């Protein structure tokens, strides 16, 4: 297949990349680079591979079965208690969770625009939320997909440009891909993996591939799209880590991504600050758009509602998620109790979804000849064990044990 045809296949996977490269990822990558330099770049190699493994399964499930992951989750259980529990977990962790974090997505993107323009981030936050709402309200998948692909390209250019301008050490970068766990770095390793393997992306991908392609005959296109898009997303995260590593002395503490953009000016000049700020905006806006979309597909699928992008129920779900985000911005912050609840339920949900996904991928009555092979199952099992570990750490962290 020619390069042109490969690029034309890019679409649903780019939306997945747009979803996981959000303000949380920018912050985690920046903090990691500033505190540990290049030492944890290897973590992103694992994260990229692990994300490709699970997202490929999710996309294949959607293309072959014609169901979203929420629908498949609801319909596979005969036991009503288990079915209701699965619905609660999906609606709770994905629906409420995306709403809780939407404020962070909007404010993160607004921080980038505020750095460039000097206008208060609250103003930009409301504007961003309204623009994201207008884009989603069109209900036109191709328009939304193209807008997000364009913003992923903007992110890639912006963060790569800032990384080049900062003048990193190529030798040190190469050594960063040699696995090692510096003292005190485990929580950031967990964070980097956790911001790349995102639970709601599994729901997003199973549904959005059906908007782009028609069935199993397009699995090849979907795989190209998944691999290319997630690799690009991973590279973006790596360039953010490299920028922070080159810009700051090891051990530097960063608590605000907007301030990091400002701090680049005296080190690498105004263009590095400008490019990084544009990248932060693109990261925030793409996540602010994809989170409500994923929440809507997951919730409508789990509840058995109409999942058409122009349906009233679908719009009501994403509108609620987006509305919570905008309201939180106006109130000056995100609702802490909801975020804690979302963390707890997400910590439980992600391992369960990963286990269920592998279970579903081995059901011949659902997938026929497209069930997992032994290699896919082995890779999936390894990734799932890591995801379970991440989930346990999330719960223990929220409980104050870690």
- How big is the CA angle at 39 (ends 35 and 43), to the nearest 5 degrees? 105
- The pLDDT, as a whole number, for residue 336 is 46
- Record the pTM: 0.88
DSSP structural state of residue 119:
S
Cα dist from 396 to 87, 187, 348, 388, whole Å: 24, 12, 11, 12
For the chain, domains (ranges, CATH) are 3-399 (1.20.1740.10)
Do 122 and 327 meet the contact criterion of CB atoms below 8 Å apart? Answer: no
Cα dist from 237 to 173, 271, 285, 383, whole Å: 14, 19, 16, 20
> Which residue matches tokens 């898009």?
229
Do 293 and 136 meet the contact criterion of CB atoms below 8 Å apart? Answer: yes
> Which residue matches tokens 């939407």?
102
> What is the chain's pLDDT, residue by residue, as a tens digit (402 residues)?
556 666 566 789 999 999 889 887 888 888 899 899 999 999 999 999 999 999 999 999 999 999 888 888 777 766 777 777 777 777 766 777 777 778 888 888 888 898 889 898 889 999 999 999 999 999 999 999 999 999 999 999 999 988 888 888 999 999 999 999 888 887 788 888 888 888 888 988 999 999 999 889 999 999 999 999 999 999 999 999 999 998 888 887 776 667 677 777 777 777 888 888 899 999 999 999 999 998 898 888 888 898 899 999 999 999 999 998 888 888 875 544 554 555 555 666 677 788 888 988 998 888 889 999 999 999 999 998 887 887 677 667 666 776
DSSP letter for each residue of 270-297: HHHHHHHHHHHHHHHHHHHHHHHHHHHH
- The pLDDT, as a whole number, for residue 345 is 58
Dist CA 196 CA 46 (whole Å): 10
Q: CB neighbours (10 Å) of residue 306?
A: 11
- The pLDDT, as a whole number, for residue 185 is 82
């Amino acid at each position: 297949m020619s390069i042109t045809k490969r690029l034309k296949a890019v679409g649903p996977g780019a939306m997945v990349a747009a979803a996981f490269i959000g303000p949380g990822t920018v912050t985690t990558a920046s903090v990691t680079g500033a505190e540990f330099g290049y030492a944890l770049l290897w973590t992103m190699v694992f994260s990229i591979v692990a994300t490709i493994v699970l997202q490929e399964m999710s996309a294949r499930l959607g293309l072959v079965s014609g169901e979203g992951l929420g629908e498949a989750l609801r319909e596979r259980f005969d036991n009503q208690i288990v079915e209701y529990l699965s619905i609660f977990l999906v609606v709770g962790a994905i629906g409420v969770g995306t709403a809780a974090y939407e404020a962070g997505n909007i404010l993160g993107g607004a921080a980038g625009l505020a750095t460039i323009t000097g206008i208060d981030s609250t103003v930009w936050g409301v504007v961003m939320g309204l623009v994201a709402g207008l884009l989603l309200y069109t209900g036109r998948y191709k328009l939304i997909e193209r807008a997000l692909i364009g913003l992923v390209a903007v992110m890639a250019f912006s963060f790569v440009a800032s990384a080049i301008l900062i003048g990193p050490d190529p030798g040190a970068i190469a050594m960063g891909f040699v696995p090692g766990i510096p003292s005190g770095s485990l929580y950031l390793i967990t964070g980097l993996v956790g911001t790349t393997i995102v639970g709601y992306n599994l729901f997003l991908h199973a549904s959005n591939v059906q908007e782009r392609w028609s069935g199993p005959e397009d699995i090849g296109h979907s795989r190209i799209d998944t691999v290319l898009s997630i690799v690009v997303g991973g590279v973006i995260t790596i360039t953010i880590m490299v920028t922070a590593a080159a810009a700051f002395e090891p051990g530097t503490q960063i608590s605000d991504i907007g301030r990091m953009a400002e701090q680049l000016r005296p080190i690498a000049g105004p263009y590095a600050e400008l490019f990084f700020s544009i990248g932060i905006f693109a990261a925030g806006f793409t996540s602010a758009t994809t989170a409500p979309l994923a929440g809507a597909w997951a919730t409508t699928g789990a509840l058995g509602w109409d999942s058409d992008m122009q349906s009233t129920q679908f719009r009501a779900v994403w509108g609620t998620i987006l509305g919570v985000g905008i309201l939180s911005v106006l109130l000056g912050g995100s609702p802490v109790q909801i975020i804690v609840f979302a963390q707890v339920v997400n910590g439980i949900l992600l391992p369960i979804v990963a286990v269920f996904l592998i279970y579903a991928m081995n059901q011949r009555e659902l997938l026929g000849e497209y069930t997992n092979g032994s290699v896919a199952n082995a890779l999936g099992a390894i990734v799932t064990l890591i995801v379970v570990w991440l989930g346990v750490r999330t719960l223990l962290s929220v409980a104050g044990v870690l």
